[in-house]
């Protein structure tokens, strides 16, 4: 009997789901940071604290479209007895060379424009005659159409306190403040802040590149013709989509035939673009389970002179779990790339992805929160659910408002029911049945 | 006074947030469906019901690695008194030409392989000697290393009921069944099902292409040098990221200067790749508000011979809202592309995006659920919150476990506080203050 066969048959120990997950998360390390353009860093984790290099706003500026005035000039102003000021010109947003506002003068000013020297407050245009000599206006005419608006006189209908409608320099953030802490996930508002303080690039952990490879000589690509004994490859599609959903850049490699040499060569080819490899199928106890065969029969590329070869460091286990009993995990190739070898049944591979691959991807990203949320729910079912003793069972269900309802049976080939589910119902190892109305743990698939 | 200035100044009416949103959603229509490759359709909405063209599984097949047997041959079998059968060969997954299992015979069979003619059940390999003549085994040796495993004799240690470990043809779905209903959002499990029934492409509403354009002569791109009166453009980054987050394919066009001709030409250039245009800035009551100027002063391209020009159909309004009072919305260009013109203050534009643009994007995608989730929460604050009368205020806050805490003040330039928030606190139009401990409505930004 060969060494591979001995190894394959010598393990009756059942590992728990938690032991397997712990081993994966103890091995997979966050990716090395890289500097990315701001928009390419969306969804990524910031590696360093970012401090503010310049205060925001960088200068006192107007929060309104209106007139920059001296407080004394508008004291006691009303619509009946307006303060009449000479308009010395416009201060638009982006203006650099600023007019000085002297006594009896006003500058027409736009939102965001710097408060000109001499001015102490801004009066909104709605509290003036807009320079038109009538009652209060609701807007300024466009400069390009009415250039005369920047000249002449303006009647101010209300007084202004010092600093009214002025945003002070540094009132948002001050130079030296912490803008964002290391570990922050960059969503739109965080990207806004980084741009606002002038950061065009940022150091983050990149999205992991995940290669998804299905195996099985029975697999045919969708849209092709099925002949006897064949089925369509669905795992490579499902897990590529799931990897993208988890935050990865995913590459699909569909349906490698059940031949160890072919598989080993396909894996070696893909390693160059993989931060994580995921295979489906070929991990159980059959005579054609080539993933197991290919990855347990060669040396690990760990600097022993065998670095061109993939494989070796992968351990195959049986887990106390249903579906998803057979699982493989290890490091392969010269870069010790993590590989998760999932079972081939569609539901098994998908559940395994959610439990093991998703947390691995999110760990590579440097995220703290790597797991799907869980909650408790009341089981609504028309009969008792049964579960094998000593196995943690993950049934498919739909969750809403604290109630979970199973969809489909326990069979790991039931793809149609999986497509209706948005939750996994967890039945602990010790339980062999669950009565309707019982409180159960639920994994929300989101 | 020009027509533009008249229009700009003639509207003191305040529109409600709900009126504005309703007008947008009554105008924006879901995009025309297209046929996409399965993985390109992730996150998209299915347009037609998809029925199952072939039953799944397409044939009776084994759910285990083991031996395909006739029930009578293994009746009463035990480890002490095994049934001894002649192994006639292997049935691997994907096998087409199947051996017939006669009386006294067994075929070694792999998970997923078709049940061969004559066989009535499958006995898992763990309940046999695996053909090795010893006790029970836990796996088969690999075929490539031990080809003799497909020959000789096997001892079966347990009886099997008819159909044991056989998945019946059609037990997942049957030809003609509804696989997925029109309106389904395609996530990984739905993609799995489509692939499994042989669909390599699928008809969905595509992701909308959204062009995000910031305007303002004061805006400088991050990583460049600021001079007097300038600030960094953050809106185009924030809203591009937010559009992607909402499901769109987003293109950023940063910082068009405050010149109506330049802006109009930039918008015309971009229209060719836009299903939706979003601008920021230039919509208020100032003399340099060019978005308003550019889009209210030209004809709409509605077949009146002026189709090359952008603009015209955009209406500018004041909303009873803080931040985000000035807003523009309309259809522009020859294809009547929807355009949302948002205010330029960073917090105003972001809040406006969440309230108006996100639902528009999700409507274009054909999604039913276009809004951010809302919940009620208890306000935790160390002082009373104030809000202007007659305005619906959206304050930034952090939400956890039914409690919301404001971050930062009401100022619409406070980007740093926005970057700490994960919720908007809604203060209704009628309320001018909110006591700590009050139940408030919260928009969860997710």
CATH of the domain at B298: 3.40.980.10
Structural domain ending residue among the three candidates A116, A138, A167 = A167
User: For residue B369, is it within any domain?
Assistant: no
Query: Of B142, B167, B192, which residue constitutes the final position of a domain?
Result: B167
Chain A residues closer than 8 Å to B56 by CB: 231, 413, 415-416
Q: Tell me, what's the pLDDT at B148? A: 87
pLDDT at res. A11: 54
Say yes or no: A306 and A222 in one domain.
Answer: yes
d(CA B331, CA B317): 15
Mean pLDDT per 10-residue segment, chain B (446 residues): 39 89 97 98 98 95 96 96 96 90 96 96 96 92 87 96 96 95 98 97 98 96 94 97 98 91 94 97 91 71 43 84 96 95 97 98 97 97 95 97 93 92 97 97 95
CB atoms within 10 A of CB A148: 11
- A contact test, residue of B3, B6, B238 with most A CBs within 10 A: B238
The phi-psi region of residue B188 (left if phi > 0; otherwise alpha if psi is between -120 and 50; otherwise beta) is alpha
Does A337 reach chain B within 8 Å, measured CB to CB?
Answer: no
Pair B336, B314: CB distance under 8 Å: no
Residue A174 lies in a domain: no
Number of domains, chain A: 4
Predicted pLDDT of residue B410: 83
In a domain, A173, yes or no: no
Name every chain B residue with its beta carbon within 8 A of the beta carbon of A171.
411, 413-414
Contact with chain A for residue B181, Cβ under 8 A = no
Shared domain check, B281 and B136: no
Q: Does residue B356 sit in the same domain as residue B379?
A: no
Q: Is A168 on the interface with B (CB under 8 A)?
A: no
Instruction: From A341, A342, A347, A329, select the one nearest A445 (Cα to Cα).
Output: A347
Residues of A in contact with B173 (CB under 8 A): 415-416
Contact A287 B142 (CB under 8 A): yes
Which helix or strand (DSSP H or E) is residue A288 part of?
Answer: none
Q: Provide the shortest C-alpha distance from residue B7 to chain A (in Å).
A: 9
Q: Assess A177–B contact: CB distance below 8 Å, yes or no.
A: yes
CB-nearest to A232 from B198, B236, B345 is B198
A340 with A229, same domain?
A: yes
DSSP three-state, residue A216:
coil
For testing contact with chain A, the best of B66, B229, B230, B239 (most A CBs within 10 A) = B229
- Measured between beta carbons, the chain B residues lying within 8 angstroms of A290 are 142
User: In A, which residues are within 8 Å of B200 by CB distance?
Assistant: 221-223
Name the residue among B12, B198, B222 with its Cβ closest to that of A199. B222
* Dist CA A182 CA A175 (whole Å): 18
Same domain, B298 and B409: no
Residue A172 lies in a domain: no
**In a domain? residue A228:** yes
Q: B276 - beta bridge partners?
A: B210
Considering the domain boundaries, does residue A74 fall inside one? yes
* Alpha carbon distance A350, A408 (integer Å): 15
Nearest CA in chain A to B116: A229
**pLDDT mean for each 10 residues of chain A (446 residues):** 39 89 97 98 98 95 96 96 96 90 96 96 96 92 87 96 96 95 98 97 98 96 94 97 98 91 94 97 90 71 43 84 96 95 96 98 97 97 95 97 93 92 97 97 95
Which of these three, B138, B167, B196, is where a domain ends?
Answer: B167
Answer yes or no: do A220 and A356 share one domain. yes
With an 8 Å Cβ cutoff, are A189 and B419 in contact?
A: yes
Considering the domain architecture, whether residues B304 and B394 belong to the same structural domain is answered as no
Give yes or no for B51 touching A (CB within 8 A).
no
Packing angle between helix B235-246 and helix A188-196, nearest 10 degrees? 170
- Judging contacts by C-beta atoms under 8 Å, the chain B residues touching residue A143 are 287-288
For residues B243 and B261, state if they share a domain. yes
Cβ contact A218–B113 (<8 Å):
yes
Chain B residue numbers touching A65 (CB-CB < 8 A): 284-287, 289
Q: How far apart are CA B181 and CA B196, in angstroms?
A: 16
Residue in chain A lying closest to B65 (CA): A286
Peptide bond into B37 cis (omega under 30): no
How far is Cα A425 from Cα A443, in angstroms, rounded to an integer? Answer: 7
A147 and A191 in one domain?
no
From chain B residues 363-392, the ones with a CB under 8 A of any chain A CB are: none
Q: How far is B227 from chain A (nearest CA, A)?
A: 7
- Do the Cβ atoms of B285 and A110 come within 8 Å? no
In a shared domain, residues B326 and B259: yes
Q: What is the dihedral of CA B123, B125, B130, B135, to 10 degrees?
A: -100
Q: Does A247 touch chain B (CB under 8 A)?
A: no
CB contact under 8 A, A141 and B191: no
Report which of B401, B396, B406 is spatially closest to residue B435, judged by C-alpha positions: B406
Please tell me the distance from the alpha carbon of residue A374 to that of residue A378, in angstroms, as a whole number: 13
Contact B200 A217 (CB under 8 A): no
Angle between the A235-245 and B188-196 helix axes, to the nearest 10 degrees?
160
pLDDT at B2: 39
Burial B243-271 (b: 16+ CB within 10 A, else e): bbbbbbebbbbbbbebbbeebbebbbebb
Read off the DSSP letter of residue A356.
Answer: I
Q: Cα torsion for A363, A364, A368, A369, to the nearest 10°?
A: -60
Residue B37 falls inside a structural domain: no
CATH number of the domain that A413 lies in?
A: 2.40.340.10
Q: Supply the pLDDT for residue A174.
A: 96
Q: Compute the residue count for chain A.
A: 446
| Closest Cβ opposite residue A143 in set B144, B239, B287 | B287
Q: Are residues B155 and B50 in the same domain?
A: no
Rounded CA separation A275/A331 (Å): 11
- CATH assignment of the domain containing B47: 3.90.105.10
pLDDT at B265: 94
Nearest CB among B139, B173, B216 relative to A94 is that of B216
For chains A and B, count residue pairs whose Cβ atoms are closer than 8 Å: 419
Distance from CA of A103 to the nearest CA of B (A): 23
Rounded to the nearest 10 degrees, how much is the dihedral formed by the CA atoms of B109, B114, B118, B122?
Answer: 40
B154, B106 Cβ separation under 8 angstroms:
yes
Report how far Cα A166 is from the mean position of its chain's Cα atoms.
Answer: 37
Nearest by CB to residue B125, choosing from A65, A96, A285, is A285
> Is A354 found in the same domain as A219?
yes
Range of the domain at A280: 3-31+207-364
Separation between Cα atoms, residue A282 and residue B145, nearest integer Å: 15
Contacts of B57 in chain A (CB under 8 A): 231, 413
Q: Kindly report the CATH number assigned to the domain that includes residue B144.
A: 2.170.190.11
In a domain, A369, yes or no: no
What is the CB neighbour count within 10 angstroms for residue B181?
A: 10
pLDDT in tens, A123-132: 999 999 999 9
């Amino acid at each position: 009997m060969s060494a591979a066969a001995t190894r394959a048959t010598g393990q009756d120990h059942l590992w728990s789901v938690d032991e397997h997950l712990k081993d994966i998360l103890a091995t997979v390390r966050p990716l090395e940071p890289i500097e990315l353009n701001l928009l390419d860093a969306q969804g990524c984790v910031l590696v360093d604290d970012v401090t503010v290099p310049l205060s925001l706003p960088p200068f006192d500026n107007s929060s309104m479209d209106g007139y920059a005035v001296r407080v004394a000039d508008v004291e006691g102003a009303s619509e009946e007895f307006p303060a009449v000021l000479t308009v010395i010109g416009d201060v638009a947003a982006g203006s650099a060379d600023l007019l000085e506002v002297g006594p009896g003068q006003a500058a027409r000013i736009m939102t965001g424009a710097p408060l000109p020297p001499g001015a102490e407050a801004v009066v909104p245009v709605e509290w003036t005659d807009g320079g038109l000599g009538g009652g209060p206006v609701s807007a300024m005419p466009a400069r390009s159409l009415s250039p005369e608006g920047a000249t002449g006189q303006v009647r101010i209908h209300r007084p202004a306190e010092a600093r009214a409608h002025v945003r002070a320099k540094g009132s948002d953030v001050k130079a030296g403040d912490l803008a964002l802490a290391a570990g922050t996930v960059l969503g739109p508002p965080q990207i806004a802040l980084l741009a606002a303080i002038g950061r065009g690039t940022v150091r983050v952990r990149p999205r992991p590149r995940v290669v998804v490879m299905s195996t099985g000589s029975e697999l045919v690509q969708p849209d092709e013709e099925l002949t006897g004994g064949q089925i369509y490859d669905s795992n490579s599609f499902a897990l590529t989509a799931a990897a993208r959903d988890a935050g990865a850049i995913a590459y699909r490699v569909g349906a490698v035939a059940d031949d160890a040499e072919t598989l080993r060569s396909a894996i070696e080819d893909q390693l160059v673009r993989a931060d994580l490899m995921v295979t489906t199928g070929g991990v159980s106890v059959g005579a054609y389970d080539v993933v197991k065969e290919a990855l347990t029969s060669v040396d690990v590329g760990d600097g022993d002179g065998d670095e061109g070869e993939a494989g070796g460091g992968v351990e195959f286990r049986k887990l106390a779990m249903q579906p998803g009993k057979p699982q493989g995990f290890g490091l392969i190739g010269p870069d010790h790339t993590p590989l998760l070898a999932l079972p081939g049944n569609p539901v098994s591979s998908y559940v395994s992805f959610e439990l093991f691959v998703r947390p691995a991807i999110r760990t590579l990203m440097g995220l703290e929160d790597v797991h799907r949320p869980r909650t408790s729910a009341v089981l609504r079912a028309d009969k008792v659910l049964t579960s094998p003793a000593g196995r943690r069972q993950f049934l498919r269900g739909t969750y809403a408002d604290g109630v979970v309802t199973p969809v489909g049976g326990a069979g790991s080939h039931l793809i149609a029911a999986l497509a209706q589910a948005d939750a996994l119902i967890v039945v602990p190892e010790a339980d062999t049945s669950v009565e309707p109305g019982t409180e159960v743990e639920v994994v929300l698939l989101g």
